[in-house]
Amino acid sequence: MRIRKKAIAALALGALLVSLALGSPAWANGVVRVQQTDGSVREYPQTAMRWNGQTLWLHSADGKGVLEITTAACSDADNLVRCLPYAITLHQSGAKRPIAVEHGTIYMNFSSEAHHVPYSSELLGAHHLLVAVRTQHGTYISVRGNVDEVKQ
């Protein structure tokens, strides 16, 4: 319960900081990278990233696709918020397609300064997020960028 309260407090503070720092939710500055089991890679630059409660919404720049990542078990992790993704849904062409998650982690930095990702040399900038997911089909989804909008 204590960890959950800290995560909620961090997200609330992050919402305030992000709204002050970013101003415009149209400020898309993220990249989604999808690597299939055959080794092929597709990148989606200028992805809009929105955090709403326990859900991360990733909107492609061309407006043709939305990736919805629902999280659980959020906790503090050395000045970052760490969440475990448990459901992913691709919204495309009016249809919803569930994507089974094998494992993954989401790190969010809602502070105004950069912090290291635990057990890594990776530095996560202010108001940034980092996502690494492996699907049950062996596809790797990674996301990096600024959070455009935060809502509780």
Q: ∠7-8-9 over CA atoms, to 5°?
A: 90
Task: Report the alpha-carbon distance of residue 102 to residue 8 in Å, rounded.
Answer: 26
Looking at residue 66, its amino acid is: V
The band of 125, judged by pLDDT with boundaries at 50, 70 and 90, is very high
State percent of the chain over pLDDT 90: 66
Q: Are 141 and 116 in contact (CB under 8 A)?
A: no
In DSSP terms, which residues pair with 131 in a beta bridge?
106, 143
State the pLDDT at residue 9.
36
| Domain interval for residue 133 | 2-151
In DSSP terms, which residues pair with 92 in a beta bridge?
65, 95
- 20 compared with 121, residue with greater pLDDT: 121
User: What's this model's pTM, rounded to 2 decimal places?
Assistant: 0.78
**Total domains present in the chain:** 1
